Amino acid sequence: MASVVRIEVSHHRLPLDPPFPASWDTRPRTHFPATIVRVTDDAGRTGVGSGDAMYGFADYERHFIGADPLDFERNAAVLSNIEFHAGRPWPLDVALWDLAGKITGEPVWKMVGGRSNRIRAYASSGVHRPVADMVEVARRTADLGFPALKVRFGRPQLDDDLAVVKAIRDALGDRLELMVDCNQGWRMPWDVAAPWTVDHATAVAAVLEEHRVYWMEEPLHRGDYEGLAELRRRTSVRIAGGELTREPYEFRELLDRGCFDVFQPDVVCTQGITGLAVLAAQVEAAGRIFTPHTWGNGIGVMANLHLTAGAASAPFIEFPFDPPEWTTARRDYPMTETIEVDGEGWITLSDRPGLGFDLDEDVLRATASSQATFS
Ligand SMILES: [Mg+2]
């Protein structure tokens, strides 16, 4: 039996010059923080995860020293307890899966179900651009082979958001599926704007319906179960969300009450690979779509790719990509190689044990920081 001998957590910040004006952040981002978690076993094998900052996790490390990395359920249950006490520790679940793959010699996509080693990506944009520029983004996205593009709402005038969807449809017809992220389900720490009401969301949905939008994401606060279910009854556009929902019982409510067509929890934010493999099966058994949020660094993208390709049957998965401000080089900076799609938007996962990536130690040294949050 392998056993864990060491856990190391390090923080990093990549300077962003020029800054990244993320549409869901009221301030342009001048840094991209990352937390790297390494878990090493008694044979010297190391698994790597990334995601939330895990401040204070050192107090709980001892619950994993001596643990078997292959005891997935036990380890995830302890992480769930720690989440209650000290914030989200899910990067360690990802690191343990990477380590488990290195122990068994198998890639994670195979360990979680082996359904496929390939998955198609949709381009997930992050910048509010003028209408003409958004049409160019859509054209480039289609030319690169992506099957779908997600655009962001949240401009000062809703009409300007809606004009983007109309202009893209008018210019490209049905060359691309289009998704719209309303980002009402979460807030940056300093952003106290009220989320939309169900009537407001219904009016927006009516326009999206007209433009054949594939899904409407986070149209209401993540806890507005009643509103989400009502909205879903009122529109034929798929309703998506759940990227920052945490607990299994919350997802049960969202499923049972008919809140979402598309469930988007992210393994580095919620329940890890262990918990979300179970949720993905429940979501698909109910006839809904499971396809994670992946906005973070490439390690999180990679972990979500393995889970979703191996254990789900999503039509496509989020690929954060909006050059020049958001490139794969920026997104994947902790890794030696960027994750790229082929000419038709497909990503093929390797057969390397674990998650199949290497850390760029030089970059990690150069970006070492005491802070790994947006604050
Ligand atoms: Mg989103």
Residue 373 confidence (pLDDT) above 90: no
Q: Which amino acid is at 10?
A: S
Question: Which whole number is the average pLDDT over 277-282?
Answer: 98
Phi (first) and psi of residue 349, to 5 degrees: -85, 145
% of the chain beyond a pLDDT of 70: 100
Give 118's DSSP letter: E
| pLDDT tens-digit readout, 95-114 | 999 999 999 999 999 999 99
> From ligand 1's centre to the CA of 308, what distance in Å?
17
Coil, helix or strand at residue 314:
coil
Per-residue model confidence (pLDDT) at position 42: 98
Give 176's DSSP letter: S
Q: Which amino acid is at 286?
A: A
> From ligand 1's centre to the CA of 184, what distance in Å?
9
Q: Which residue has the tokens 């698909």?
A: 284
Percent helix / strand / coil, the chain, rounded to 5: 35, 20, 40
Rounded-to-integer distance, Cα 186 and Cα 219, Å: 11
> From ligand 1's centre to the CA of 1, what distance in Å?
40
> From ligand 1's centre to the CA of 197, what distance in Å?
18
> From ligand 1's centre to the CA of 58, what distance in Å?
30
Question: Which whole number is the average pLDDT over 272-290?
Answer: 98
| pLDDT tens-digit readout, 195-216 | 999 999 999 999 999 999 999 9
Q: Which amino acid is at 268?
A: V
> From ligand 1's centre to the CA of 42, what distance in Å?
39
Residue 302 confidence (pLDDT) above 80: yes
Residue 185 confidence (pLDDT) above 90: no
> From ligand 1's centre to the CA of 125, what distance in Å?
10
Kindly indicate the confidence band of residue 32, based on its pLDDT and cuts at 50, 70 and 90.
very high
Residue 230 confidence (pLDDT) above 80: yes
> From ligand 1's centre to the CA of 7, what distance in Å?
31
The CA-CA-CA angle for residues 85, 265, 361, to 5°, reads 75
What are the DSSP E strand ranges found in 52-156?
118-124, 148-152
Domains of the chain (ranges; CATH) run 4-106+360-366 (3.30.390.10), 111-348 (3.20.20.120)
Per-residue model confidence (pLDDT) at position 375: 77
Question: Which whole number is the average pLDDT over 339-363?
Answer: 98
Residue 245 confidence (pLDDT) above 90: yes
Per-residue model confidence (pLDDT) at position 49: 98
> From ligand 1's centre to the CA of 217, what distance in Å?
6
Dihedral sign of CA atoms 201, 205, 208, 213 in order: positive
> From ligand 1's centre to the CA of 235, what distance in Å?
19
> From ligand 1's centre to the CA of 266, what distance in Å?
10
Whether residue 359 contacts residue 337, with contact meaning beta carbons closer than 8 Å, is answered with no
Kindly indicate the confidence band of residue 51, based on its pLDDT and cuts at 50, 70 and 90.
very high
Per-residue model confidence (pLDDT) at position 357: 98
Q: Are strands 177-181 and 148-152 parallel, antiparallel or unpaired?
A: parallel
Per-residue model confidence (pLDDT) at position 125: 98
Per-residue model confidence (pLDDT) at position 187: 86
Per-residue model confidence (pLDDT) at position 374: 86
Q: Which amino acid is at 25?
A: D
| pLDDT tens-digit readout, 56-97 | 999 999 999 999 999 999 999 999 999 999 999 999 999 999
> From ligand 1's centre to the CA of 188, what distance in Å?
13
Question: Which whole number is the average pLDDT over 36-65?
Answer: 97
Question: Which whole number is the average pLDDT over 187-201?
Answer: 93
Residue 277 confidence (pLDDT) above 80: yes
| Listed residue (263, 344, 314) closest to 109, CA to CA | 314
